[in-house]
């Protein structure tokens, strides 16, 4: 299986919008599972199914960017001009009133979506993407606190807040920051299997919700040595 290249646009986004999904993807990776297997058994068939990810943090330039929250300063690993071919593009959320990206980052979003590649938006990342026009006519969601404001600003988008995330073709939009992690968890399960998601969640002590924001408890599980593992909650 070829590595999956994940691009994260670097601007003043809320830190967890991007770091959370990236950590979850990393926890679902073969590399991380092989590392965890040194300390506690991980089923060989789960490791075999796990993907590999390569992360690219894409800025307008390589200059450091001070993020919107947590006093984090991030240095891009590449620029829009030099970014490799991406399989996934992830866009976190800015303040909706300031959600206009530099032209080169906007154009990267447009090219990526036009090519049919997977786009994840988290929280107000949907308003960042809406400003590029690629959500026009699409079903999408956004953080519920900014929902009415964003809906008025981008009326060509079919906004809804009935679900924690919305899938419209190759565009997946998550509502709040943690709902974005739940959305990515669903993508992992659908593409690599529930066991890969369970192992990723165990690494983070994370229990994702389903699209309605509900927890569904799995039956009691055991590790490869027959030891009981505490029940975790995952969407079916």
Q: Considering the domain boundaries, does residue 35 fall inside one?
A: yes
Q: What is the 3-state secondary structure (H, E, C) of 145-177?
A: HHHHHHHHHCCCCEECCCCCEEEECCEEEECCH
Residue 200: domain span: 4-207
Over the Cα atoms of the chain, what is R_g?
18
For position 179, which CATH number holds?
3.40.50.880
Q: Considering the domain boundaries, does residue 124 fall inside one?
A: yes
Tally of domains within the chain: 1
Whether pTM > 0.85 for this model: the answer is yes
Percent with pLDDT over 90 in the chain: 87
Q: Considering the domain boundaries, does residue 87 fall inside one?
A: yes
The ranges of the chain with pLDDT < 50 are 217-220, 231-234
Dump pLDDT digits (tens) for 115-130: 999 999 999 999 999 9
**Distance, CA of 99 to chain centre:** 18
Q: Considering the domain boundaries, does residue 127 fall inside one?
A: yes
Q: Considering the domain boundaries, does residue 119 fall inside one?
A: yes
Q: Considering the domain boundaries, does residue 217 fall inside one?
A: no
Q: Considering the domain boundaries, does residue 231 fall inside one?
A: no
């Amino acid at each position: 299986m070829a590595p999956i290249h994940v691009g994260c646009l670097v601007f003043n986004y809320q830190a967890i919008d991007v770091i959370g999904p990236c950590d979850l993807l990393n926890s679902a990776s073969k590399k991380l599972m092989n590392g965890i297997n040194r300390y506690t058994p991980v089923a060989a068939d789960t490791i075999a199914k796990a993907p590999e990810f390569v992360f690219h943090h894409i800025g307008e330039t390589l200059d450091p960017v001070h993020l919107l929250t947590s006093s984090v300063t991030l240095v891009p690993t590449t620029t829009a001009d030099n970014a490799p071919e991406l399989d996934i593009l992830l866009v976190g959320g800015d303040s909706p009133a300031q959600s206009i990206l530099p032209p080169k980052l906007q154009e990267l979003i447009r090219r990526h979506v036009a090519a049919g590649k997977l786009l994840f938006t988290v929280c107000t990342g949907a308003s960042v993407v809406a400003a590029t026009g690629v959500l026009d006519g699409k079903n999408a969601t956004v953080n519920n606190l900014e929902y009415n404001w964003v809906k008025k600003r981008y009326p060509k988008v079919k906004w809804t807040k009935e679900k924690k995330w919305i899938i419209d073709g190759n565009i997946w939009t998550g509502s709040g920051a943690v709902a974005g992690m739940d959305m990515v968890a669903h993508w992992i399960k659908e593409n690599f299997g529930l066991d890969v998601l369970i192992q990723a969640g165990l690494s983070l002590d994370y229990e994702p919700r389903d699209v309605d924001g509900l927890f569904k408890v799995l039956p009691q599980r055991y590790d490869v040595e027959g030891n009981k593992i505490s029940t975790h909650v995952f969407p079916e």
